[in-house]
Amino acid sequence: MTGLSGISDLGGLAVGMPAARRPRQARGAGLLVTACVLSVFEVEETDLAQPSRGRAQVALARQIAMYLHHVILGRTLTDIAREFGRDRTTVAHACRLVEDRRDEPEFDAMVGGLETALQAGLAVLPARPTSTRSQATRSQATRSLATHTFPACGTEA
């Protein structure tokens, strides 16, 4: 599957691999990464799903989300590319851009804060997510999860 036409089962996250084949904890971890990035950058899930680059803020949010999926979750560039409807080389480029910008103290502090918040949240992630819900409910739950689980992501608990 290419593109983000597979937005459905994971709260707006593209499904490159059938949901039944992805480990449940990995799906939840991906949701946490995406929710945290959406919260910090105040962008919509649909913005990340656009086939074009979009606004600079959206492109940066997507690049950081890709970077965190790779660094924090240890996902392969190919899996991330499928998830975001991009090419593997695009994901590699995004990871390089984020790494290069980490030389900037303010940017590094922001990405480091996201990494710390995500690592803390992933440590308590349940192995099985709750029952299936509609996409709208999942999207709302994803944002709520970011708010309540990750105050460090720029939202108040």
Block residue for tokens 């992630």: 125
Q: Which domain holds residue 61?
A: 19-153
Does 7 fall in a domain? no
Q: Is the pLDDT of residue 67 over 90?
A: yes
Q: What CATH number does the domain containing 34 carry?
A: 1.10.1750.10
Residue position matching structure tokens 């409807």: 85
CA-closest candidate to residue 69, choices 113, 102, 104, 32:
32
2 assigned to some structural domain? no
- Residue 28 in any domain: the answer is yes
Q: Is residue 120 part of a domain?
A: yes
Q: How many domains does the chain have?
A: 1
- Evaluate whether residue 131 is within a structural domain: yes
Is 10 among the domain residues? no
- pTM, whole model, 2 decimals? 0.65
Tokens 């990995």 appear where? Answer: 26
97-151 pLDDT, tens digit per residue, is 999 999 999 999 999 999 998 888 777 655 544 444 444 544 444 444 444 444 4
| 8 occurs within a structural domain | no
Residue 3 lies in a domain: no
